[in-house]
Amino acid sequence: MNHSEQKYDVIVVGGGPAGMMAAGIARDNGSRVLLIEKNHKLGEKLAITGGGRCNITNATYDSREFLKIYNEKAKYFFSTFDQFDVQNTFDFFESRGLPLVVEARKRAFPKTQKATDVRDVMVDYCTDPLITKLTRCSVQGFAKSRDTVTSVITNKGTYTADSYIIACGGVSHPETGSTGDGFTWMRDLGHTVADPTPSIVPLATKEKWNHELSGVSLSFMRIIFYVEGKRAFAEKGKILFTHFGISGPLILNSAHKVTDLLYEGEVTATIDCYPDTDHGALEKKILHIFDMYKNKSFKNVVAEIVPEGMKDIFDHFDGVPQPDDKVHSITKEERKRMVQLLKALPLTITDLMGMDRAVIADGGVALDEIDTKTMRSKKYDNLYIIGDMLHINRPSGGYSLQLCWTTGYVAGLLQ
């Protein structure tokens, strides 16, 4: 008997974190599962997430506190997290031989620091006679009858089940197969689906000085964004300069706000390299350094003044000392200009880097069309929608994957 002639208890579409969790939980409860994945193996995106380290979750154990990060969408997930929360995630992986470690900003990683180990745990969890894994299988759509899904149509045949779980992800990292197909299927089934935008993505900038600092990372900087010269918002955290612009946790988590600003007009920004030091105190610090090295050339002193990796920053601006100027000859105006720049390095934001560089994209099925206590569709009594299929902004820091683990677990219960 081929797979398409067999009826399953549940078909899971998508072999990512949410789909594998759902398939494993359904199997634990005695269901015969067909797990469909379009790639040649499961967990392709999971194996590269978190820069190859996999930020499994955020160690905020109080679910109410954890859910605040989702803002107005938090109300949908109280009952979901009551069933599977952050502590459950820790227990799940550690009980399977993968201890976790908690780093800055409560980000939890596998102790091995390898995303492939997380993937391997999940693949092993789905390796069982009750789970049939069908890879290199592209879903083309679903058949329905009134308020029930009757089958899934693929390039390898038509498959039927009592229940269907959709966990095929959004559109970030399209090279891993996340091309947004699931959004099309859900629209075809009559669900309201918001168009995706890259919600956690680096920003492109115009300035040459920024691009030449590629690879330099600054901790706890402050960036202020402006639209048409009017202050919009400010954030504080870690910034990474790249050959195309700026990235790092602070920037990634600000991208969805910048998206809105770009529709309003020109977006600029300033970076404060010393957010905890005011102009006067910074100028005194520079004066002290100049007094210590007054007979040296400026190029031999500048590293004492600027953050690490930025010794050439002043080469890109007017009104500052030249590299070969003697420190004792630097004017008051030049010194003040240095302070001004260190407190407000100027940038022009030209664009978001797009889906190909997005860590996460939003978009997806409207949450008010899903019973989030069970993850069951309100339109179809045997359809469950989970993970990155949900329309919600998920900041970096473990919040996206935790949503996958939680919704996958709840859907796998087939309540």
Would you say 408 and 415 are in contact if contact means Cβ atoms under 8 Å apart? Answer: no
Q: What is the Cα–Cα distance from 258 to 194, expressed in whole angstroms?
A: 18
CB neighbourhood size of 408 (10 A): 30
Of 232, 317, 219, the C-alpha closest to 268 is 232
- Nearest CA to 390 out of 192, 245, 255, 213 is that of 192
State how far the Cα of 399 lies from the Cα of 393, in Å rounded to an integer.
Answer: 10
Q: Measure Cα distances from 215 to 98, 218, 286 in Å.
A: 31, 10, 26
Q: What domains, with CATH codes, occur in the chain?
A: 3-197+360-412 (3.50.50.60), 202-353 (no CATH)
pLDDT tens sequence for the chain (415 residues): 466 667 999 999 999 999 999 999 999 999 999 999 999 999 988 988 877 889 999 999 999 999 998 888 999 999 999 999 999 999 999 999 999 999 877 889 999 999 999 999 999 999 999 999 999 999 999 999 989 999 999 999 999 999 999 998 654 443 333 446 888 899 999 999 987 665 567 888 999 899 999 999 888 889 999 998 999 999 998 899 988 889 887 888 788 788 778 767 789 999 999 999 999 999 999 999 999 999 999 999 999 999 999 999 999 999 999 999 999 999 999 999 999 999 999 999 987 765 444 455 567 899 999 999 999 999 999 999 999 899 987 666 788 899 999 999 999 999 9
Neighbours of 72 (CB within 10 A): 7
**How far is it, in rounded angstroms, from Cα 211 to Cα 241?**
7
* Cα-based distances in Å from 266 to 172, 258, 288, 344, 378: 26, 11, 39, 18, 42
Token reading at 288: 């002290």
Q: How far apart are CA 116 and CA 110, in angstroms?
A: 10
Contact predicate 299/323, CB 8 Å? yes
347: which strand partners?
Answer: 269
Q: How far is CA 3 from CA 42, 75, 137, in A?
A: 18, 40, 12
**Whole-prediction pTM value?**
0.68
pLDDT at residue number 173: 40
Give the pLDDT confidence score for residue 351 in this predicted structure: 78
Q: How far apart are CA 390 and CA 194, in angstroms?
A: 9
* Beta-sheet strands, E only, within 88-166: 100-102, 107-110, 131-134, 139-145, 148-154, 157-166
3-state secondary structure of 80: helix
pLDDT at 341: 96
Kindly list the distances between the CA atom of residue 352 and the CA atoms of 114, 130, 173, 216, in Å, as whole numbers in the listed order. 28, 44, 15, 20
Nearest to 50 by CA among 112, 123, 126: 112
User: Does residue 249 contact residue 197 with C-beta atoms inside 8 Å?
Assistant: no
